[in-house]
Structure 1
């Protein structure tokens, strides 16, 4: 699904060159749920931006289905994003002047689709994320957990194969966070979507098939659910 080869990203700050990613190699399989952890400034969110085509690498490649995504023009990357990638953000990024159903359907309308079953598709998605009865509500009338449900529904409405989540439970209490993570796990299993989630929360990371720990722009550790040390690895964060 996704192949990352010798990915470097640096920024110029005055006379300084700041290296954020220093040669990342990573393969993400179809339907895999990945959690990326690490201290602030380790390159986690930068990697997510490169995977989503929101930025371009200094060198190296991001391949999606064998095609070099990072080598496309901005217009070409936009087309790929609309068709293949969904985004979930910590602060939800909902459009305040639109209702719940309008926010969820926005990617379809923005893409110029005229599907006669579009309204039914939106209704079904609202039901799947547990927001029936809130269709006409504005985002500011919803709780944080409900707003994140809208964000998830919006990310999934065009049925992307890749879902990128940047601290999706960062603004939620533990119960609301569990509800959101249960939703993500459900869609991951049902739709075989690849989920790449950046998080500081080991509870959130425990939902993933694989945890990748970043440090100083490099992958320090990878541990999968099948590894013998997986439980101990999780416990070490909680010690």
Structure 2
């Protein structure tokens, strides 16, 4: 039994839905965590070893857990939040938990690129820590931040494919159900092509947006 075009479009929609919603929530978590990792480290504007010493290992631990294991391990938590552990919406919970710390590290790396002289100049002008963060740190690294979010988005696409292994829906589920389990080479090839097109499109869009920001 070959997969229909309607099933393919539904799988694409489910993948985009998972990626879009997960990216929003993961960014809302990862952005402040990434900023905290930078500003609370030794010698920075809000140095706080207690906060840094707690956040740093927690993020390291979450990032070290493979997504497929995390997905299964937090099934009770997922069921508590959304009422089920199966389906597209349920897959968003582990996707957010998996991607949030990853985005935090990407944000941290981007913000650490800011020249210390810029921060010193801002402090000399009497800028508050919040002003330094939102008027100097983030604007200075906006192009790099866009590329970081682009990288996270591509990582999310790969994770949604793995979510298909446990009934998460999307392109991964289509590839496993119709491609692998029913030995349909055409379906496997089609899903691979769709994923490649998605990744290339997102990467190109991110690169273009980052270039425009840097020119300004």
TM-score by length of 1: 0.21
Query: Highest Rg: 1 or 2?
Result: 2
Q: Which structure has more helix as a fraction of its residues?
A: 2
